[in-house]
Amino acid sequence: MNENLIPKWQKELRAFLGIKSGIILEGNVYDEFPQFEKTDDGWEFSDTDNLDQTLISLIDGEKTEMVFFDPVVGFYCRGMDADSQRKLLEPLLDGYQTTETLMDHGMTVCLMPSGKKKGGKGNPETEVYIWMSEIIRSTMLDFKSDSGKENIVFVLNFASRLDASNLRAAEANTMFLNIMAATTAGQRFQLFCNSLIMVVDKYNDIPAWVYLNNPNIRTVSIGFPDRYTRRLYLENLFGPLESYRALSSDDSAAGKEFVAETEGLRLQELRQILQLAVRRDIKPEDITLAFRLYKYGVLENPWENLENDILVHIENKLSERVKGQDEALTKVKSVVTRAVKGMSGLQHSGSSHKPKGIMFFAGPTGVGKTETAKALAESIFGDENACIRFDMSEYRLEQSDQKLFGAPPGYVGYEGGGQLTNAVKNHPFSVILFDEIEKASPTILDKFLQILEDGRMTDNQGNTVYFGESIIIFTSNIGLTKESDDPNNLFRSNPHRVPTITIEDPTKEDTQEFRDMVTATLTEGVKAYFNDNGRPELLNRLGDENIIVFQFIGKHNAEVICDYKLKKICRTIETEKGITVDTSAVTEMLHEKAVLERANGGRGVGNMLEKEFLNPLAGYICTLDDSPKSLKCVPEDGKIRFVS
């Protein structure tokens, strides 16, 4: 095997161990790792194991001892019989009372300083860690072995948690000073010096003064396994998982897809997916089912269970709930068609990771953008509540991304996770609506890059959330207004905004030229928004064809919306109050007022009905001693008069 295929961190550690007296090992430290043996033909894969065993395989065991320290169990060794371990460890702790246990795996001897020197007194909860660092420092300064070994390497596991062990600041400083002193006292004229490996989650878990400007310390990052490593892992499966070796074959389409889809997963997670497959009796060619179960917690895929006439059903549902947006709904249907048929994003690499559909709804307020998203959720997933809505006006501040994705460790709310990641984790099959995206802090836009490209996001607690079975919709009225260039504007810090488009004549239907102008203006406005905020890459991930423009509602549709809302009001009054309201005489007058409000969309029509009809009706009913059985509406000087 070509040596270049060995993970970079292993080659780097093999090269610098013994050259650098301090190694900070960070990143994916809790995974299992491939191990390789040197043969006459090069390097050969031998096994996968935990980090301890992998580190042992990277040193020259004939010349070097390796001793581990774990804050839970103390000092221990691996790969030695119990007597040999005692012979090595007990001299290191000479002068300290120790506790001893025998671990089940391999009869590993664990020795922990008891917290007080022989003949002295101490605080076991704190001083044990200081004395641990003293033992490491003194041993690295003057290591002697009865076994003929020339050097020693200490591995400090869970080093990220050392200063979280109820240590006071002075005690923590003493402990890390000992560690720093241990790394600065290497043997200058030897080819291999005694070394200390600190295993941490991230390098800055160690105080910066320990490693900054310290030429004796090197940071080595362990990344997630690459495509080759994942495939190599499949090639060498054994035991109950051996049947899944077929996934590593060049002829296995399911295997190639599985290797591609598991990008960013640990080897442990690959093993867990395969264990799920064994438990559910899933065959290698159906491994995608196990992967879906691991990602989403369900085997069933709502997308695959949709009826054959779902597209007709969606078209009817959208047309019923959203009026006057035929062009926009046609584009929406084309995106949904690709999603339903599993053909979204096939032009990109790794298309299976991407969300099922991505759309950007641009248009005036109250024209049906949010209603379209809700109708889609009801049509596809059978429940309008499957539309998860985020009002982006709540995320104006720069640090608002913490609400969506979770606060960093140590901050209030860390344990709760993020609003978005929690919602998608619990409801992976959904329509995710980001309403009025232009009102959010521009820094949040960066978070969407990974979601739109890879279909996944890692929350603040390190859990990966997948968006591959969802439809993502952004809404905005970008492009409808612009900053005023009036030289008399006194509020330069908060410039006044003026409309870029106004309806030519509310009492007439909009011309096709006007509708084309609306489409062009809003499309350019969306593009300018992303480019001006320095996010052209996000615009590329959206795609021009997925920018869907909603028009101003037309004259006829304003009247239709008026009738719909008016009937709904009258029906509710009859049901709850027992009063029948006859509006036939005022319908034409309300139509005329509705048409004048169509620039404000359906909400404008609703507000007009509240002002012209609902408020006077409520006032009239309050003046009566008894509630009437019926009321008749009569027009009078542009107002509505009620007759009981």
Q: For 398-464, give the secondary structure using H, E and C.
A: HHHHHHHHCCCCCCCCHHHCCHHHHHHHHCCCCEEEEECHHHCCHHHHHHHHHHHHHCEEECCCCCE
Contact 618, 577 (CB under 8 A): no
Smallest Cα–Cα separation from 91: which of 33, 156, 147, 157? 147
The mean pLDDT value of the chain amounts to: 84
Highest mean pLDDT, choosing among 307-321, 389-403, 494-508, 628-642: 628-642
Is the pLDDT score of 117 beyond 60?
no
The whole-number pLDDT of residue 538 equals 87
Is the pLDDT score of 80 beyond 70?
yes
Is the pLDDT score of 115 beyond 60?
no
The whole-number pLDDT of residue 351 equals 43
At residue 498 the predicted structure's pLDDT band, cuts being 50, 70 and 90, is confident
The whole-number pLDDT of residue 124 equals 55
167 SS3 class: coil
The whole-number pLDDT of residue 485 equals 65
Mean pLDDT, residues 389-401 taken together: 86
Is the pLDDT score of 165 beyond 80?
no
Is the pLDDT score of 307 beyond 70?
no
60-74 per-position pLDDT tens digit: 777 889 999 988 888
Mean pLDDT, residues 31-49 taken together: 83
291-305 per-position pLDDT tens digit: 888 888 876 677 766
For 117, phi then psi, to 5°, come to -70, 160
At residue 169 the predicted structure's pLDDT band, cuts being 50, 70 and 90, is confident
Is the pLDDT score of 576 beyond 80?
yes
Between 548 and 341, the higher pLDDT residue: 548
For 64, phi then psi, to 5°, come to -130, 135
DSSP 611: I
Contact 526, 360 (CB under 8 A): yes
Which of 257-271, 335-349, 412-426, 466-480 has the least mean pLDDT? 335-349
339-360 per-position pLDDT tens digit: 877 666 545 444 456 888 999 9
At residue 472 the predicted structure's pLDDT band, cuts being 50, 70 and 90, is very high
Between 620 and 62, the higher pLDDT residue: 620
The whole-number pLDDT of residue 247 equals 93
Mean pLDDT, residues 48-69 taken together: 89
42 SS3 class: strand
- Dmax over CA atoms of the chain, in Å, equals 111
The C-alpha angle with vertex 590 and arms to 588 and 596, in degrees rounded to 5, equals 110
The whole-number pLDDT of residue 308 equals 63
Domains located in the chain, CATH noted: 3-222 (3.40.50), 227-296 (no CATH), 310-476 (3.40.50.300), 481-549 (no CATH), 555-643 (1.10.8.60)
Which of 189-203, 335-349, 577-591 has the least mean pLDDT? 335-349
Mean pLDDT, residues 316-328 taken together: 86
Pairwise CA distance, residues 180 & 268, whole Å = 33
Mean pLDDT, residues 531-556 taken together: 88
Does pTM top 0.85 for this prediction? Answer: no
The whole-number pLDDT of residue 93 equals 80
Buried b (16+ CB within 10 A) or exposed e, 503-535: beebeeebeeebbeebbebbbebbbebbeeeeb
Mean pLDDT, residues 283-312 taken together: 79
Handedness of CA 519, 522, 527, 528 (dihedral sign): positive
633 SS3 class: strand
Which of 147-156, 253-262, 338-347, 450-459 has the least mean pLDDT? 338-347
240 SS3 class: helix
Smallest Cα–Cα separation from 481: which of 491, 470, 496? 496
522-543 per-position pLDDT tens digit: 999 999 888 887 788 888 888 8
Q: How far is CA 238 from CA 234, 235, 241, 271, 274, in A?
A: 9, 9, 6, 11, 12
